Structure 1
Amino acid sequence: MDSKKQNFPVLEDHPVGQEHAKEAVEAHGTIQSNIKKLMKEFKIYRWSPDHPNNKPYLESYFIDLSNCGPMVLDVSQKIKAEDDPSLSYRRSCREGICGSCAMNIDGTKTAACLKPIDPDTSRPTIITPLPHMLIEPWLKTRKAPEDGREYRQSPADRKKLDGLYECILCACCTTSCPSYWWNPEEFLGPAALLHAYRWISDSRDEFTDERLQALTEDQKRLYRCRTIKNCTATCPKSLKSCICHSQDEV
């Protein structure tokens, strides 16, 4: 068998097709090599929690727009995947629905998945977080691990979080809860209580007392649950938030 047939075995009995396929592959390579790179600078706000005393700064990344999607979110994903895995940002739907990827892009607060890349390569695009929005971590600790490593957790403690961490904050449970309909100004509702229990149950969290105090300083926040279980019936992730409420009561 000659080299052409080896390269295109599906066309083994069609020599003309073999030749055309080989020419197409060679032409594609030539075209790709002749595409002019369109490099653009993106300056992105960076800060490292590992060095909290260092001031934030803008780091430059140069991206080939001829090999990138059309939106600013595409740039962020390309940088994280190919250049700098430490880059952190939020995104979810990538279709302008969820709002997760809201950023400050060249002074405009908008969703990165809906913001087209400015094709002007003579000036950089500047990307910073939304202003005046403080970041408060869900997991609260009083001090970093002494060995400098991440917070570790045993398999048994990790298993306790199953059925809790999967919540997608859709609010189907809370809006299906008659107890919340009747007392929205007092009862926190199943979604809030599920999340409270999720962090109270986390062995790495060190603010359990503060979380319990916030729940119990007004008993109506917690004890308005009547275990009707509409929350469990409607949850798209099949989570049982009523069980979490009863565990909180214990």
Structure 2
Amino acid sequence: MADLVVNVWRGEGFETFRVPFLESQTVLDVVTWIQRHLDPTLSYRFACRVGMCGSCAMTVNGVPRWTCRTHVSKVAKDGRLEIRPLRNMPVIKDLAVDMAGFFDKWQEAGGRFVPTRPGVLEFARVDPENPERRQASAGIECIGCGVCYSACDVVAANPDYLGPAALNRAWTLVNDARDGDRIGHLAAVADDAGCHACHSQGSCARHCPNHLNPTGAIAGLKREVFRALLKGDL
């Protein structure tokens, strides 16, 4: 490919740019080239450029992705790219979205660690082979990029749904032996907008750049909420 044809969402429609195709080029490289050489008013978000912060997530050819880790050679179709902002979040401008609502749902899902021994500074010792710790560790690498939230059709249909990232966070806390409010976390995700709203379509797990499984975490929450109800804890 000599040039890429790049259609970029600009709020009311797409604007088309021609960008030189370079070896090992990422989609973030393409967006940056447009902003630096063709249109300095193009708005987007990025920080680390190495897949650590997740802030560069956008929708590329219909799929939510980290653009810094997405190579053009693997996603361009006939030398064409379509770049949109993430779905299911208000657009601030061009490719930048407002993630305040996304993070508000972490709070609604009880995503705050509650210490069992406030003020104690010693490290808590939890056996690495403890089954609950292993389940918590499996989901702890979420960096809040919003890709799973953008991919979720339940969020698209039900804006009140807490979403896979917030529920995944709740699952890590439910399984954290150091946390002192297990029932409180379960209560926060037990209503109509919580874990039972998930249809288990698996889009969150399929698209997570860190290969986490929020679908499995949500299934775990459903089981634990049901057990807590049977015991009369909820």
Query: 1 or 2 for the larger relative contact order (CA 8 Å, sep ≥6)?
Result: 2
TM normalised by structure 1 equals 0.42
Instruction: Give the TM-score, by structure 2 length.
Output: 0.45
The structure having more radius of gyration, on CA atoms, is: 1
